[in-house]
């Protein structure tokens, strides 16, 4: 499907593939399957695509993924251009793009579509970009004649990411989200003394790149060609950047960033822990 290769390339995707919805349904909860079927009655195909975001190893206190424009909006907008091409070919079908905001298991879709490698840390590894890629999906009821690809193989299992994780969140059965430092930085509400200590020792106030930095595939990753992720970056936030902001003014100032969805509260708390 050269025309679809060209459509994804024009959208800025570094790789793409497709999987049958029926192959993913078994990895979804009943509620997630019901939501997918509400969005797209009789879903048949899931297209998955990877968009690079690495902009260099710049100092800062925000995770690399959160420094550019909000990937939810960027990836969805870029996938919309692919949907426009698909609609021309299949005018009677519907296509639903999403990025980390749909009931679909995006990583599983990418792995089943044969994109990259399955990292021990649960991330997709796509050389030469390593794990520094955002994933997006397109759900449709169209029965697309996609090229057959074997599912993505596992990474070499060197154990570097597991050894590097200070919270011990990477287990043999997969990542344990409740212990992940990235999840902890985003958590609202009161934290235990142990959790506060972990954040105090953590170099970032939002997200965590430790397991990614340890991965050999990220030793010298290629930089993103996408301007949304390579220009106008916010590398660091300090108390002065958040001073006096209400939830509304915070959204006005930073609403186009992926770190804004929880509001200023977690960021202020995490910064205050660094000052103690």
Q: How do residues 113-130 score in pLDDT, each as one tens digit?
A: 999 999 999 999 999 999
Instruction: Work out the pLDDT band at 32, boundaries 50, 70, 90.
Output: very high
**Residue 23, pLDDT above cutoff 80:** yes
Do the domain assignments include residue 268? no
Q: Is 209 a catalytic residue?
A: no
With a pLDDT cut of 90, the percent of the chain lying above it is 88
Residue 11 lies in a domain: yes
Q: Which is catalytic among the residues 2, 5, 100, 145?
A: 100
Domain-embedded: residue 26:
yes
Q: Would residue 259 count as lying in a domain?
A: no
Between the alpha carbon of residue 3 and those of residues 88, 138, 171, the distances in Å are 11, 16, 41
- pLDDT, greater one: 143 or 164: 164
User: For the residues 80-104, what does the mean pLDDT come to?
Assistant: 95
Residue 187 lies in a domain: no
Domain residues for 121?
2-140
The model's pTM is 0.94
Residue 82 lies in a domain: yes
The pLDDT confidence band at residue 259, using thresholds 50, 70 and 90, is very high
* 175 domain-assigned: no
**Whose CA is closest to 47, among 114, 101, 2, 93?**
114
Q: Which ranges constitute the DSSP H helices of 40-157?
A: 71-89, 106-112
104 belongs to a structural domain:
yes
Number of domains forming the structure of the chain: 1
Q: Residue 242: its pLDDT value, please?
A: 96
């Amino acid at each position: 499907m050269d025309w679809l290769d060209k459509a994804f390339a024009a959208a800025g995707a570094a790789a793409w593939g497709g999987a049958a919805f029926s192959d993913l349904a078994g990895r979804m909860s009943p509620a997630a399957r019901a939501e997918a079927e509400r969005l797209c009655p009789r879903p048949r195909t899931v297209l998955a695509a990877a968009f690079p975001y690495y902009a260099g190893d710049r100092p800062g206190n925000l995770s690399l993924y959160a420094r550019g424009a909000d990937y939810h909006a960027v990836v969805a907008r870029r996938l919309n251009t692919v949907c426009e091409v698909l609609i021309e070919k299949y005018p009677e079908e519907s296509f639903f793009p999403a990025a980390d905001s749909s009931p679909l298991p995006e990583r599983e879709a990418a792995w089943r579509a044969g994109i990259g490698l399955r990292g021990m840390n649960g991330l997709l590894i796509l050389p030469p970009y390593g794990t520094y890629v955002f994933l997006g999906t397109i759900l449709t009821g169209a029965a697309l004649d996609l090229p057959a690809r074997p599912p993505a193989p596992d990474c070499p299992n060197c154990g570097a990411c597991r050894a590097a994780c200070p919270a011990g969140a990477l287990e043999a059965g997969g990542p344990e989200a409740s212990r992940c430092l990235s999840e902890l930085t985003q958590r609202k509400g009161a934290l235990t003394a142990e959790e506060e200590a972990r954040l105090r020792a953590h170099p970032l106030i939002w997200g965590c790149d430790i397991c990614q930095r340890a991965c050999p595939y990220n030793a010298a990753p290629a930089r993103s060609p996408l301007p949304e992720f390579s220009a106008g970056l916010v590398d660091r936030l300090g108390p002065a950047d958040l001073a006096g902001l209400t939830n509304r003014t915070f959204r006005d100032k930073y609403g186009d960033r992926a770190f804004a969805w929880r509001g200023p509260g977690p960021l202020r708390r995490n910064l205050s822990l660094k000052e103690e």
